Amino acid sequence: MSAPALPVTGASGPASDMLVPRPVFEVEGLSIEYETELGILPAVRDVSLSVAEHESFGVVGESGSGKSTLAMGAIRYLASNGRVTAGSVRLNGVELLTLPKKELRELWGGRIGIVYQSPLSALNPSIQIGKQLAEVARRHLGMDRTAARVRVIEMLSKVAMPDPEEVLRRYPHQLSGGMLQRCVIAMALMTDPSLLIMDEPTTALDVTTQAVVLDLVADLKREFDSAILYITHDLGVITRICERVGVMYAGELMEQADLRTLFKRPRHPYTLDLLGCIPKFETTPQKRSLVTIPGSIPHLDALPEGCIFAPRCRFVEAACTTARPPLAGIAPDQSSACRRWQVVPEPQRFICEATETLLPVVECATQPPLLLEAEGVQTHFKGPAEGWLPGRRGHKVIRAVDGADLSLCVGQTLGIVGESGSGKTTVARAVIGLTPATAGEIRLNGEPLARSTQKRSRSTLKEIQMVFQNPDASLNPTRSVGDAIARPLSLLGGLARKEALARARGLLRAVSLPESYAERLPHELSGGEKQRVAIARAFAAEPALILCDEPISSLDVSVQGSLMNLLMQLQIEQKTSYVFISHDLSAVQHLSDAIAVVYLGKIMEVGAATAVLTPPFHPYTEALLSAVPVADPDVEQEAIRLGGSVPSAMEVPPGCRFHPRCPRFLGDLC
């Protein structure tokens, strides 16, 4: 399709003379603010971007950078205390900021589609899927009931929904997360919108489901005429979806570029730092630190003078703190809001210079002492009743963990990976005794452990601690940070309160937090700071083993990097062993000496990290590796996609449990 061409524009005007297809969606000088108890907060300031037909424009940045506010403000879909204060937004040449409210409502769900991070934000739990999707077709396309049903089935088929006619009758709670997100994508594309806004649509999904959804979006982008504004904090996802990218920080665009240029030759220090925070797949037997970004995003009520990133920038000079640089064109396909963009190095060289080898991978052959041994561990639960005759009703068995054999050396990290529902967390809870094993034996330093915490001695409890995915699960909201850390010191270490509080301050220093944080309450801390406190609390009793259950999965990539560095550094100093549970294989391989791959309660593969991640693979490991989005546009991954989801642990398949989804299924042999 031919179209008039316009120059790419940045926040301060033309960013290049390169001609591109006519933009469908144009944002110029957009500023948005919120009225709060703290006063007026300028959430987005002077942002400009454009998205063409069939193009995906990615907006990346840490939490709190204003990504979602930018998207929602541009289409005037803000909360009641938000308002656009400046700028212009055009969709197919129509100015949205002055459009009457009635016409704007017709655009929402019509010419503008939205896919949210949580599909339940767009679906009513009390209405069948078919009725909800048909409502969009009837309202915006003027279809009658029969035509709307046909359109819904057509769209569900386009998003590769299995058995779409059956799905019409289902309620949201009866579908998996991946199926729900397909329904929302079908709903958003129902009217063939000009603009599709996707706000972190795969963040809450397993890596395998995420890969399928990303493939789906890439296919639909070619079929539909929509311009896509894709919001995410995951740079790996960006490489699979987007042609151009804008990097956002504290309400401003720091850099705009085409995908390959941004990853290979970034021209803003913030972009460079984000790329450095990402764990790289390496098969070398060393653990390296990750790049970290000091400090945190500034509060909107206390923005710094000059460059907004200057307080955290490794290339800052005096002039950066006095005048705010505009987003200006520095190349035909690139704009940067940095006065020192020429000194920003190539990412690979920067990462090598900014990181260091922390310690070699520990091999059990060279360091024999075993800390943890698990043999034939089972954790079964009573499921729902079967049958209907009183006195003869049995119960199904939920086989959450079904015969796990694991071992862990002193000072070693064992990574456990798998999809949601595979039994990873149940393994950890069986080890610590929160969910007692129903069979098998767990030994610590050669001594069998009682199955429940109630039957374990104080010295045993002291030896095993846990860091949860949600730090609020281990922090009392009404007790100070100092009290939270001091409690295990008093209960397990026998210290007096005064001495325990003094030690708590030392532990805060150990996790790179100020001692003054001891007086704060949990709600006064950021997510990353809370997780540091949770780590300090776990280390307080000087345990031999710490179980880390998805400790970084809900955090920004910059915070993830600093926490992984912290865990590695503490391991060096304390000789502590970790069981590190995650669905993120890149994080697991970065930290682990050994890896166990778990599926439906069974260990599919276990061994040294380098061996597990080097061919030949178990087919499930191979599928997990294929699904991990790699933050490098030059890397071509083999696409191995798994159909369906993890089966119920009440009805495990015969033979190999993975065979119903296995891409290398060999019939009766499996």
258, part of any domain:
no
Amino acid 360: pLDDT: 56
The per-residue pLDDT for range 325-352, each reduced to its tens digit, is 999 999 988 999 999 999 999 988 888 8
Q: Of 337, 360, 383, which marks where a domain is finished?
A: 360
Give residue 390's pLDDT band: very low, low, confident or very high (50, 70, 90): low
Q: Are residues 591 and 474 in the same domain?
A: yes
491, part of any domain:
no
**Domain count across the chain:** 2
Q: Are residues 346 and 327 in the same domain?
A: yes
Average pLDDT score over the chain: 88
In whole angstroms, give the CA distance from residue 540 to residue 552: 20
Mean pLDDT over 268-276 rounds to 94
628, part of any domain:
yes
Q: Are residues 436 and 331 in the same domain?
A: no
Residue 462 token pair: 């002291």
Amino acid 387: pLDDT: 62
pLDDT tops 80 at residue 17 = no
The per-residue pLDDT for range 628-641, each reduced to its tens digit, is 888 888 888 777 88
Q: Are residues 594 and 661 in the same domain?
A: yes
Amino acid 249: pLDDT: 96
Beta bridge partners of 255: 247, 336
Q: Of 334, 360, 386, which marks where a domain is finished?
A: 360
Give residue 283's pLDDT band: very low, low, confident or very high (50, 70, 90): low
CATH number of 443's domain:
3.40.50.300
420, part of any domain:
yes
Range of the domain at 399: 370-479+527-534+541-669
590, part of any domain:
yes
What are the Cα distances from residue 651, in Å, to 392, 399, 622? 20, 9, 24
In whole angstroms, give the CA distance from residue 670 to residue 657: 9
Q: Are residues 356 and 432 in the same domain?
A: no
pLDDT tops 70 at residue 23 = yes
The per-residue pLDDT for range 553-582, each reduced to its tens digit, is 878 888 888 889 889 988 988 889 999 999
Give residue 2's pLDDT band: very low, low, confident or very high (50, 70, 90): very low
Taking each continuous run of H as one helix and of E as one strand, the counts in the chain are 20, 26
**415: closest CA among 602, 545, 576, 547?**
547
What are the Cα distances from residue 657, in Å, to 403, 421, 648? 13, 13, 11
Amino acid 560: pLDDT: 86
pLDDT tops 60 at residue 368 = no
pTM, rounded to two decimals: 0.87
**563: closest CA among 573, 553, 572, 575?**
553
Q: Are residues 344 and 375 in the same domain?
A: no
Q: Are residues 473 and 617 in the same domain?
A: yes
Residue 625 token pair: 């590796």
Q: Are residues 406 and 439 in the same domain?
A: yes
451, part of any domain:
yes
Q: Are residues 592 and 644 in the same domain?
A: yes
4, part of any domain:
no
Q: Of 329, 360, 391, which marks where a domain is finished?
A: 360
Q: Are residues 554 and 616 in the same domain?
A: yes
The per-residue pLDDT for range 430-487, each reduced to its tens digit, is 999 999 999 999 999 999 999 999 999 988 999 999 999 888 878 999 999 999 999 9
Helices (H), 385-480: 424-432, 458-463
Q: How many residues does the chain have?
A: 670
Amino acid at 353: E
Q: Yes or no: say if 333 and 261 are a contact pair by the CB < 8 Å rule.
A: yes
What are the Cα distances from residue 84, in Å, to 12, 33, 248, 267, 370? 19, 7, 18, 29, 61
Residue 464 token pair: 């095993």
Q: Are residues 313 and 374 in the same domain?
A: no
Amino acid 598: pLDDT: 94
567, part of any domain:
yes
Q: Are residues 615 and 565 in the same domain?
A: yes
Residue 634 token pair: 């030059």
Task: Look at 383 and 239; give whichever has higher pLDDT.
Answer: 239
pLDDT tops 60 at residue 6 = no
